[in-house]
Amino acid sequence: MFDLWYRNRLLIGDFFIFWTKIGVSSLDTVYAVKKLESNDVLVIERFKAEFNIMKALNRHNILRVYSFDELHYEYTMDYCKL
């Protein structure tokens, strides 16, 4: 279903955030998946709070987030080219 295009890793303090650009060929749509790799409870809670804040925002110039995966600590969002 998804065509994986690339993966990046960013070190922030003592934890990593990964993001991946994915495309849905049948829909001609591109999304990003942001994934946290940390066992620190405070970092995980902050990551969840970030998702919930983004989910509550509804503006044309703010990226939309769609779903949070509690098992892998990742969420799907709109892809934005820098």
Query: Domains in the chain, ordered, with CATH?
Result: 2-78 (3.30.200.20)
Query: Which pLDDT score is estimated for 38?
Result: 84
**So what's the pLDDT on residue 51?**
95
Q: Show the beta-strand stretches assigned E in 1-82.
A: 2-12, 15-24, 29-37, 65-69, 74-78
pLDDT tens for 13-53 read 666 666 666 666 566 677 888 888 888 899 899 999 999 99
For residue 3, what pLDDT band results from cuts at 50, 70 and 90? very low
pTM of the model: 0.74
**pLDDT level of residue 80 (50, 70, 90 thresholds):** confident
Name the range with the highest mean pLDDT among 26-35, 52-61, 72-81: 52-61
6 Cβ contact partners less than 8 Å away, ≥ 6 residues apart: 20, 21
